[in-house]
Every structure is written in structure tokens, then in C-alpha cells.
A = this chain, B = another copy of it.
Amino acid sequence: MSDREESDLPNPVLVWERPEPERRPAPVPLSRDRIVNAAIELADAEGLSAVSLRKVAGLLGSGPMRLYGYIDTKEELLDLMVDAVYAEMIAEGPLDGGWQDALRTMAHRTRGVVHRHAWLTVLLSGRPHQGPNAMIHREASLAALSGQPGFADIAVALQALKTVNAYVVGALQDEASERHAIQASGMTDEEWQLATYPYLQRMLATGRFPNIARIVEEVDHPSHAEEFERGLQIILDGIAARMNR
């Protein structure tokens, strides 16, 4: 910062005294893969807001503008990040078992990657999943259903898939929103509980929220995992009911 002050002047010293610029080192080799991996690394470590073209490029040892040889806009980088995660899910292997097992496995795999990459919840909204890995994933999901009894009609399989996916995405966002609020505040879980408790108590004390109050008092909350599983089972029951009609 302050050691650049001298060079702010157009010509700080005589030419002879200034060092030549060191020869440009061979530029580090780049690829979409390397770029996307660097971006994911950043997002995992410091959140999606830490992903800037400057930082990604910096991590790779290049200038930010070089990335524009591989992507047209930052949006496209985010698209590539999402597709890379689909690749992760594919790599977890085939979906076997009955249709319920297949759908359950899919759901839990999605939950897994979202936990590994918390930034996904933000990107899943407002972004179509038409990348090659997303398509492979979708094909595999459909394939796991379309052979099964009751799913002869591919439309039924698609319907089931979309419904489960919608639930999974929504449920994960619910989980994430809580986690996010806590983390963003920079507090530990207990500190946050303690900080928001008075507000909740004051609201409940008004008597205008008897049902919420009952929940706070009576219900002992299951873990996120269990809650996720219960909701999922409801969906599967619904699909099963639909089939016997």
C-alpha cells in the first residue's frame, strides 16, 4: 500500500535506476475444470460471496481477465459449478433397489452434496439444470424408475421424480436457512439460541401465537435428518397411493 507511494509519481527516478520488469513467467495452464474447482474450493471455504473472478483467478495464479477466455460471464461460472456438483452425485454410483429405495437414495445423495456445498441452495434457485452432468443424473434417475412396476408410463416416473425433487430442494433450503442465519451472525449455536430467545418469548407472551407456543412447549424437535426422512416418507406414501388407483 504505502510502499507504492513513490511509484505513484509518473517517473520516480531515472531509467537507469529502475529495475527492468522481470520476464513474464510462462502463464499457468488453465482449463474450465481448474477454474471451476478453484471456485468451488473458495465457495466451500468462505461461502458463495467469496467467489469473485479476481479471487478465483488469484487462486490459480492468473489475472482475472484471463478467465473470460473460458467463460463469458460470472453467471456461466456458477452454472459450471452446479454442473460439477451433479458430477459428484453421479460418481456415487447406480441407483438400485425398488423405486422407493431409488428415490430415497437420490434424496439422500442430494442432501449430502448440499451439506458438503452449502452454497448450492442459493444456486439451485433461478438456474436451469441443463448441463451435461445434470442430464446424466436425470437420465439415471429416470432409468432407475422407468423399469419398475407401476412406472411403465414415463410420465408417471417424471411426475414422481419432480415431486420428490421439489420436496428435497425445499426441505434443504429450510435446513439451510436456519444454519445460515446462525453462521452469518458469527455466533455459536448456543449464543444464537440465547440471542433470539427473548424475542421469541416476547412474541409468545402476547398470547397471539397459541399454536406456536404449544410447539415450543410440547414438541421435542427431531433432528434435521429425521425430519427430512419423515417428510420424504410422506411423499413416497403419496406416490404409492397414486399408483394403486
Contacts and interface: CB of A to CB of B under 8 A. Distances in A.
Interface of A: 75, 121-122, 124-130, 132, 135-136, 138-139, 142-143, 146, 154-155, 157-160, 162-163, 165-171, 173-174, 176-178, 180-181, 184, 196, 199-200, 203, 208-212, 214-215, 218-219, 227, 230-231, 233-242
Given A139-B211, A154-B218, A196-B130, A125 B234 contact: no
A211 B142 contact: yes
B178 A212 contact: no
Contacts of A242: 233-234, 237
Specify the main secondary structure of chain A where it touches its partner.
helix
A126 B158 contact: no
A124 B126 CA distance: 12
Number of copies: 2
Contacts of A214: 146, 154
21 contacts: A124-B177, A127-B177, A127-B180, A130-B196, A135-B209, A139-B211, A154-B211, A155-B218, A159-B230, A162-B171, A162-B227, A162-B231, A163-B234, A166-B167, A167-B170, A168-B170, A169-B169, A170-B170, A170-B173, A234-B239, A241-B241
| A-B complex: 10 closest residue pairs judged by Cβ atoms | A238-B238, A166-B170, A170-B170, A142-B211, A169-B170, A234-B238, A166-B171, A163-B231, A237-B238, A237-B241
B158 A215 contact: yes
B176 A165 contact: no
A125 B127 contact: no
A245 to B, nearest CB: 9
A170 to B, nearest CB: 3
A86 B121 CA distance: 21
Contacts of A159: 227, 230-231, 234
